[in-house]
């Protein structure tokens, strides 16, 4: 099988590494990729949100399967273009990708599917902002205001704050930019990311994971695209995962089919485990980053065959997935100033070791690997338990040099009992 992966992050590096372990995968290409993915896949520089360019590349490469990593090409309809060209594609249609592309669409689907989620309200008129904030903040018994960009914002469109001025300023800035704002009730409890391979009503869950969205230790500072993750979750009962699949993901998948927008690809349920049970924080239409780097490092089943089965209507006969024993921890190494405007162009050393996945990296003409984005590397540690996996990840980071870079030191620390 020849597989083309679309995207350029550490998630795509993780996908490529897992695909390369599948004995039926004979060749890999990636577009646009990064300095790390170039070592394991043919690298092509195209506009990944342009369906015609992706189809031309897939045809030229002779792809038997196209796997689309990021949300932007999916929301732009690239999977539709690939399927229309007769090439199996792992990724939802433009319409089904609205489960991530429009928070209001996701709320409508969840409501019709009877799935528990936060109470919410869309505000698109600045004159209505203050009265809406009054209905949602701590005075109404919530621990904090939750203010989201209704559209795509790479994880950075969300502000959760007990300070009304902070919440209001974020909402007002979004409205000034012409973005509708979603106000939500606050869901208290630890968060879980459950990735499910979905084709229509067939749902195959991967191991649950947890990510760390704030930039600083102790969940301080602004939100980011994700600073670390771990899998599996020792504190989450297997029955709870089963309940999430049965009561959340399957009803949503069935509702998507009922609406005539069946979902084929990776349906990512982000949930809070509240005192009254799991409740959905958000759905995404693709693998999560940086959880994928940890989750796929534990997968033993052949990923290429799994994604091909989902893309060709045979997921229901794929069988149960198998996983390595032990735990995995991902720690993101970010460029100076991230999540603000990152410093780029700095030389990175020590980034070719096993378990060091690349995101914002590029190869300079002189051969040096340099930083080219905010989240530069995802370092994946493995071990018999979370403590061992944490120790492995941080030992690998000690071998990496990137001027001005920073990372969290507490990824999976509480879950490891440290
Ligand atoms: N882990 C957060 C995201 O992928 O959106």
Q: What is the pLDDT of residues 103-131, one digit of tens each?
A: 889 999 999 999 999 888 888 889 888 88
Region 82-96 average pLDDT? 98
Token pair for residue 21? 């372990």
Residues 210 and 311 reside in one and the same domain: yes
Contacts of 342 (CB under 8 A, 6+ apart): 334, 335, 336, 360, 371, 373, 374
Residues 299 and 250 reside in one and the same domain: yes
| pLDDT digits 0-9 by tens, 251-294 | 999 999 999 999 999 999 999 998 889 999 999 999 999 999 99
Token pair for residue 410? 């507490």
- Model confidence at 153: pLDDT above 70: no
**CA 163 – ligand 1 centroid, Å:** 25
Residues 309 and 332 reside in one and the same domain: no
Residues 146 and 257 reside in one and the same domain: no
> Which residue would you say has higher pLDDT here, 176 or 31?
31
Q: Fill in the DSSP letter of residue 392.
A: H
In-domain check, residue 101: no
**CA 155 – ligand 1 centroid, Å:** 6
Per-residue confidence (pLDDT) for residue 103, from 0 to 100: 83
Q: Fill in the DSSP letter of residue 371.
A: E
Q: In the beta sheet, which residues pair with residue 277? A: 274
| pLDDT digits 0-9 by tens, 26-78 | 999 999 999 999 999 999 999 999 999 999 999 999 999 999 999 999 999 99
In-domain check, residue 266: yes
In-domain check, residue 411: no
Token pair for residue 156? 């950075």
CA dist list (Å): 219 to 52, 232, 238, 289, 386: 42, 20, 26, 17, 19
CA dist list (Å): 294 to 46, 202, 241: 28, 24, 18
- Model confidence at 389: pLDDT above 90: yes
In-domain check, residue 102: no
Domain span holding position 371: 327-397
SS3 162: coil
Measured from the CB, is residue 251 less than 6 Å from ligand 1? no
Residues 387 and 285 reside in one and the same domain: no
Per-residue confidence (pLDDT) for residue 52, from 0 to 100: 98
141, burial (CB in 10 Å: exposed 0-12, middle 13-18, buried 19+): exposed
CA dist list (Å): 203 to 217, 245, 251: 35, 8, 10
Measured from the CB, is residue 211 less than 6 Å from ligand 1? yes
Which backbone phi and psi does 4 adopt, to 5 degrees?
Answer: -105, 125
| Position in ligand 1 atom list of the atom nearest CA 154 | 5
Residues 84 and 128 reside in one and the same domain: no
Out of 93, 109, 129, a domain closes at 93
| Position in ligand 1 atom list of the atom nearest CA 287 | 4
Per-residue confidence (pLDDT) for residue 182, from 0 to 100: 85
**CA 289 – ligand 1 centroid, Å:** 5
pTM over 0.75: yes
Measured from the CB, is residue 284 less than 6 Å from ligand 1? yes
Residues 148 and 209 reside in one and the same domain: no
């Amino acid at each position: 099988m020849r597989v083309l992966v679309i995207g350029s992050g550490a998630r795509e590096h993780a996908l490529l590494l897992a695909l390369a372990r599948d004995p039926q995968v004979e060749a890999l290409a990636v577009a646009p990729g990064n300095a790390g993915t170039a070592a394991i896949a043919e690298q092509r520089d195209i506009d990944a949100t342009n369906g015609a360019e992706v189809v031309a590349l897939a045809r030229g490469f002779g792809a038997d399967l196209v796997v689309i990593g990021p949300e932007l090409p999916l929301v732009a309809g690239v999977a539709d273009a690939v399927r229309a060209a007769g090439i199996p594609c792992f990724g939802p249609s433009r319409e089904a990708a609205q489960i991530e592309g429009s928070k209001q669409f996701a709320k409508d689907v969840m409501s019709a599917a009877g799935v528990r989620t936060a109470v919410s309200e869309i505000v698109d008129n600045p004159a209505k902002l203050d009265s809406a904030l009054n209905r949602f903040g701590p005075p109404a018994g919530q621990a904090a205001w939750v203010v989201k960009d209704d559209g795509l914002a790479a994880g950075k469109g969300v502000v959760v704050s007990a300070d009304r001025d902070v919440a209001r300023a974020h909402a007002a800035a979004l409205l000034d930019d012409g973005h509708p704002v979603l106000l939500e009730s606050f869901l208290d409890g630890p968060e879980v990311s459950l990735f499910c391979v979905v084709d229509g009503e067939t749902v195959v869950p991967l191991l649950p994971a947890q990510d760390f969205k704030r930039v600083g230790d102790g969940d301080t500072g602004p939100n980011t695209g994700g600073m670390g993750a771990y899998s599996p979750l020792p504190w989450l009962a297997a029955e709870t995962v089963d309940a999430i699949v049965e009561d959340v993901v399957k009803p949503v998948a069935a509702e998507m089919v009922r609406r005539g927008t069946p979902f084929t690809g990776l349906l990512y349920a982000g949930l809070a485990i509240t005192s009254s049970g799991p409740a959905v924080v958000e759905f995404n239409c693709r693998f999560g980053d940086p959880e994928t780097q940890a989750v796929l490092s534990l997968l033993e089943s052949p990923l290429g065959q799994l994604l091909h089965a989902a893309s060709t209507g045979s997921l229901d006969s794929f069988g149960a997935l198998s996983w390595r024993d032990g735990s995995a921890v991902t720690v993101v190494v970010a460029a100076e100033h991230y999540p603000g405007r990152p410093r780029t162009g700095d030389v990175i050393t020590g980034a070719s070791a096993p378990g060091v996945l690349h995101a914002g990296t590029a190869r300079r003409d002189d051969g040096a690997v340099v930083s080219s984005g905010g989240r530069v590397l995802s370092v994946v540690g493995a071990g018999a338990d979370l403590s061992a996996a944490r120790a492995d990840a941080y030992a690998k980071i000690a071998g990496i040099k990137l001027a001005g870079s920073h990372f969290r030191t507490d990824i999976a620390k509480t879950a490891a009992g440290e």
